[in-house]
Amino acid sequence: MSTLMEWAGAALLVAGTVLITLGTIGLFRFPDALTRLHALTKADNVGLGLCVLGLALIGPATTVNAIMVIIWIGVSISGATAANLIARRHLERTSER
């Protein structure tokens, strides 16, 4: 029988997956590079965080949960850094024209 924690974990996984999917759709639908970048980085960071939280509620191992949180923090930092570098380069290129 399913517990409340399993249902909450599954709901967070679904919400995270929906956010990641919407970010990917935004990547293809938005008109310029900066709005695409914004949609993708925000949705992916929050979506991955929700997925990690959902898996933490479902899984019993605390070591695995700690590793998932560390990976999520690393992905968030690297995503923000990459987005900053891409946006900076894009703005430099558009100001040169």
pLDDT at site 9: 93
76 close to 47: Cβ distance less than 8 angstroms? no
pLDDT at site 72: 93
The ranges of the chain with pLDDT < 70 are 1, 97
pLDDT at site 47: 94
- Nearest-angstrom CA–CA distance, 76 and 84: 12
For residue 44, give every residue at least 6 positions away whose Cβ sits within 8 Å of its Cβ, in sequence order, or none: 19, 20, 23, 79
